[in-house]
Chains A and B, each alone.
Chain A
Amino acid sequence: MRPGVAIALLLVVLLPGVLFVASAVRMMADREMLLEHRLAGHRQVTLRQVEQPLADWLATLGARLDSTLGSIPAGTDDLRALVRTTPWVRQALALDRDGQRHFPPPDEPLTAQERDFLERTRLLWKDRGILYPAAAEGQSVDRGWYAWYWGDEMNLIRWVRRKDGMLVGAELDPARLAADIIALLPDAAPADALLRLRNERGVILYQWGADVPDHPPAPAAVRPLESPLAAWRLEYLDVAPVRSTPPPFWLLGVVSLGCLLMLALAGYLYRAHRREVEIAGQRVSFVNQVSHELKTPLTNIRMYSELLERELAEDEDKPRHYLGVIRTESERLSRLIANVLSFARSERSKLEISPRPASITQIVSGTLETFRPVLDQAGIEVVTRLPDDDTAMIDADAVEQVLNNLVGNVEKYAAGGGRLEIAASRAGEMLEVRVTDAGPGIPSDQREKIFDAFHRVDDRLTGPAAGTGIGLSVARELARLHGGDLRLLETDEGACFSLTLHAPLAEADP
């Protein structure tokens, strides 16, 4: 199979296949990305779902404290009772309308707890203003959370400014806050995820879900809680390796089906091509076979006609004439068969040249001798200009075949010119043989086409084209195989063919 066809076939199979697989891979990559996106979204949704009840609870706590702090009498006993009976309140404080400390009472004995509280809130007593944010234009803030750090622990105060001008606040117990939030968090979670709650110091307050691995990975998603616990955060850790889902079977199926189809198609094309090639080969070998079959009887005809000619007496003109015709025609047939054989061989790239020491002069003379009766009959005058007898490496049969074609063409198409000239010359290792006639010449648009296989010049003047159309094609092929070429030269009238051969000088055969 010719390499060009093989490559084309390979491309036909590979290219779509490659494109197919590439787009399938691309599709899977896109799916992965989409999955990751969805997972990331899912993680955030999970965290948000966990965080929501915490935010609600904190808001409720705030509201409950607001209502208590808003209505409680600000006396020492009442505030102490509040601290004693409210589990999530560690201490209470109150400022009067001038911002002076009202509770813990400045002029009464304090409990140890209250003294500790004053110590913790030292900064606050230096500057009460840090308790509440600067009021925006026209807005008055009458309640809020105040967070501060004592040591590295975060503390919270919920404060309310009341209508009676007093500011009453409650300090939350940090341990109780943590415990209440832990109590709200679930036990179960997706088994391939570990969820954690960390406080402001990064301490894990609580974790739930999958088993804790020895080396927990970095969290895949983080969500801080809402103010005032914004320093706390929820973490989502993927602990099981995120198994990328296997590509859907249908995709795999389609891809493999596609590939199989491609291969089947390629196989079919290959088989079809091979069949074609086989058939062509068979045709060519048939032609070969036929040519060979034709040659044998032809050789016999020539041989016996020669024998018969020898038997004839000198004065038997008519039989001699008849034999001449038989011989001429059988030679013509021979030349035709040689052309066909050569053509068939050239089609199969099996045409070969075997140069041997020979003389071009002899070859030309021999050819002309064969054609003498025909040329005489056609009234063509022959002129030759041949060099001295040099011996060169020439494939005599091939050159003879070329000359046969050229001279035969002159006989067929240029007989009206009445003249045939053959001239041979040498230039270095190249031999040139020029065959010139005085016929109608060849129209300029046909100058290259005449060398194409099966092409015949249709000259309406002389009738439908004669010949097989393969003569010049074979002749050129032979010339080129001989290291030369066959060209039609530009002439004013008639046609002039130039045959060049690579024919280095050689020693004559002993």
Chain B
Amino acid sequence: MKPLIAFWTSMLAIIGMTVAAASAAIPRDQARLDAALGTPVVLEGGPSRAFVKIALTGFEFAPDRERAPVNIAIVLDKSGSMGGEKIAHAREAAIMAIERLDRRDVVSVVAYDNSVQVLVPATRVSDRAAIHRAIRNLHAGGSTALFAGVSKGAHELRKFLERNRVNRVILLSDGLANVGPSSPAALGNLGRSLAKEGISVTTIGLGLGYNEDLMTRLAGMSDGNHAFVEHPSQLAGIFDLEFGDVLSVVGQEVEIIIRCRPGVRPIRVLGRDAEIAGDTVRVDMNQIYGGQEKFVMLEVEVPAGQAGEQRELASVDASYLNLQTQRRDRLSRQVNVSYTHRPEAVQKNTDTAVMKDAVEQVVNEDSKKAVQLRDEGKVEEAREVLRQNAQKLRESAGAYAAPELETFAEEMEADAQRLDDREDLNRQRKALRKKQYEKERQQSY
């Protein structure tokens, strides 16, 4: 009898531990933090440059758990230029997207031209018919008080602002803001200030009349998405994708602090706004999405070292509000670097995935320079920048076995070609801007 009990006890123990181990290895309700150097092994001597990728991947909500409730303000442009097809599609897109919300969610609809009209004040999505009626009453005519529209939209959000709700303003505009503050700087400041409250603004530019610098700044500073919609018929699809994102938020109030060890100098963060003070780098994000990876690409200066030496490069602390557990999760990682005198060792240990992302980010940043040159009328120089970028991408594509880089290179070549097409300039610029934004923020659409 005793051996049987012993057997079964030990079996149970093993099973229990395995299960425990398994669940520990795959945390179901926690984000995953990865911090990795592109080149974990560097040549001795130095100092040298390296890239650190800090990535947060959102978990999927457990099947028996409900997603986080959302609080959305849809801010629609109803200026004269939106008349006809545009406003009709905008109305329908908004109505269709709201179909995906339920009674836990709050929605408000604000429309602006010279002045602002709150069509649907912040209300729970229970009486859909009333919401649809109000939206269908939307008619175009007037100028564009974009700043006021966003202000009032945010005001509506604040009525139901809660930490465990996803709070978002979705702004649709087809024209230039001509009433109220209209500089990208002013809208950027507003965006940053809203982000501090946990409000993100997603900007959707419709047609070729909006200011893409303003729209990307507003989205960028508030950690929202940005989309360029050429035809009104595509609006429904974009709204759907955006709502899909909003409904998949799993963590909010994301803080990532990277503390570099003495001798390690942080140079820049690519693609995001960061607060760099001395040896500390701080990046804030408003949210992380289930199943999506958002990363911070940090370029650092690695101090000189001796072959065989290994040292700590930086410590990474990430924390966020877990919307499933309503608790703040804290994750930490360490990044180490070691020195060698053999180049092959450097090559062999290169993290190609990280380097691929790094190259993409660097090139993306560079192509912004191209847009600036093109704005100044220096077409040839702009084209040169893009061509060089394409070249860099091709080389990296081979070095890091990354076919995506090859695709990116081809796109860049195509953009370089089109650069002197004066008629298409406006559309190109908007498309470029959107693409750059998408890449630097790892936007899902």
Residues of A within 8 A of B (CB): 80, 84-88, 90, 108-114, 173-176, 178-180, 182-183, 187, 203-209, 211-212
Contact = CB atoms under 8 A, between A and B. Distances in A.
A161 B186 CA distance: 30
A87 B193 contact: yes
A212 B192 CA distance: 31
Given A112-B276, A203-B181, A209-B115, A175 B186 contact: yes
A187 B117 contact: yes
A187 B108 CA distance: 15
Interface string B131-157: 000000000001101011011101100
Contact of A206 (B117, B180, B196): B180
A109 B117 CA distance: 46
Contacts of A179: 147, 150-151, 154, 190, 193
A225 B143 CA distance: 26
A111 B266 CA distance: 12
B275 interface: yes
A17 to B, nearest CB: 52
Given A173-B189, A205-B181, 5 more contacts: A173-B193, A174-B189, A179-B150, A206-B148, A212-B143
A110 B277 contact: yes
B257 to A, nearest CB: 11
A178 B181 contact: yes
Given A86-B196, A87-B196, A205-B180, A176 B148 contact: no
A283 B27 CA distance: 134
A424 to B, nearest CB: 108
Contacts of A178: 147, 151, 180-181, 186
Contacts of B143: 212
A111 B179 contact: no
B187 A175 contact: yes
A208 B193 contact: no
B10 to A, nearest CB: 52
A224 B425 CA distance: 44
18 contacts: A80-B277, A84-B196, A87-B194, A108-B277, A108-B278, A173-B189, A173-B192, A174-B186, A174-B189, A175-B190, A183-B154, A187-B117, A205-B147, A206-B116, A207-B115, A211-B114, A212-B115, A212-B142
Contacts of A112: 275-276
Contacts of A90: 189, 193
Interface of B: 114-118, 142-143, 145, 147-148, 150-152, 154-155, 158, 179-181, 186-190, 192-194, 196-197, 275-279, 284
Given A179-B150, A179-B154, A187 B115 contact: yes
Contact of A111 (B116, B117, B118, B277): B277
Nearest to A189: B115
B193 A113 contact: no
Contacts of A206: 115-116, 145, 148, 151, 180
A179 B115 CA distance: 14
Given A86-B196, A183-B155, A212 B114 contact: yes
Contacts of A175: 147, 181, 186-190, 193
B415 to A, nearest CB: 29
B276 A183 contact: no
A157 to B, nearest CB: 16
B118, B189, B277 interface centre (most CB from chain A within 10 Å): B277
Contacts of A211: 114, 142
Contacts of A203: 180-181
A306 to B, nearest CB: 116
Contact of B276 (A111, A173, A205): A111
A208 B110 CA distance: 14
A208 B196 contact: no
Contacts of B197: 87
Contact of B115 (A87, A109, A208): A208
Contacts of A108: 277-278
A175 B117 CA distance: 20
A207 B145 CA distance: 9
B116 A176 contact: no
A204 B179 contact: yes
Contacts of A176: 189-190, 193
Contacts of A86: 196
B422 to A, nearest CB: 32
A86 B195 CA distance: 10
A182 B196 contact: no
A205 B277 CA distance: 35
Contacts of A183: 151-152, 154-155, 158
A179 B194 CA distance: 10
A230 B79 CA distance: 31
Given A84-B196, A175-B187, A175-B190, A113 B275 contact: yes
A84 B180 contact: no
A205 to B, nearest CB: 5
Nearest to B196: A87
B24 to A, nearest CB: 33
A109 B190 contact: no
Nearest to A188: B117
A251 B416 CA distance: 81
B191 to A, nearest CB: 9
Contacts of A84: 196, 275, 284
Nearest to A153: B186
A357 B278 CA distance: 144
Nearest to B188: A175
B414 to A, nearest CB: 34
Contact of A182 (B117, B118, B148, B277): B148
A86 B188 CA distance: 16
B213 to A, nearest CB: 16
Contacts of B189: 90, 173-176
Given A175-B189, A209-B115, A109 B181 contact: no
